[in-house]
Amino acid sequence: MRRFLPLLIALSLSSITYATDYKYLTIENNEGGATSLSISNLSITFSNGNLVANDGTTIPLSSLTKMYFTETSGIAVHAVSTADTVTVYTTAGALVGQYSNPNEAQKSLPKGIYIIKDKEGNTYKSSIK
């Protein structure tokens, strides 16, 4: 047993070090969307059936399907209401246009990565394939 103790300690420490390398908590919903939250100073509470992050992100618990840590934020896709007017920008911040709903924007835009701003002022990255 004494021979294995240093190995167990080394494996435990390497796991701890590896876990701290993650920078984002990604939360997937049942509509296929995902939101990535920076774990730097991240605090999560649960209130009234919602997951609430300290940055103001609120996600209904009923829509959660998976949560996992990632090294990069990836593309955060948010389920914007299909009736909401959206404004689309390039990743460089140039205005592309305003669309009556996200579906119209998706059909009109060429392939690429865009920043979408909804009517509440929330911004999301979106990939058009």
pLDDT tens for the chain, residues 1 to 129: 455 555 555 555 544 444 457 788 888 877 767 788 888 888 888 999 898 988 888 888 888 888 888 776 554 445 555 567 888 888 888 899 999 888 888 888 888 888 888 887 777 778 776
- Domain membership flag for residue 2: no
114 and 99 in a single domain? The answer is yes
| Last residue in a domain, options 48, 64, 79 | 79
Q: Tokens representing 99?
A: 């669309």
Query: Which of 78, 85, 71 has its CA nearest to residue 126?
Result: 78
74 and 118 in a single domain? The answer is no
Please give the backbone phi and psi of residue 108, each rounded to the nearest 5 degrees, phi first. -90, -25
Q: How far apart are CA 26 and CA 7, in angstroms?
A: 32
59 and 90 in a single domain? The answer is no
Residue span of the structural domain in which 124 resides: 86-128
Q: How far apart are CA 52 and CA 39, in angstroms?
A: 14
Q: How far apart are CA 62 and CA 50, in angstroms?
A: 8
Q: How far apart are CA 26 and CA 116, in angstroms?
A: 19
68 and 97 in a single domain? The answer is no
73 and 26 in a single domain? The answer is yes
Q: How far apart are CA 89 and CA 111, in angstroms?
A: 13
Give the total number of structural domains in the chain.
2
Q: Tokens representing 93?
A: 């911040």
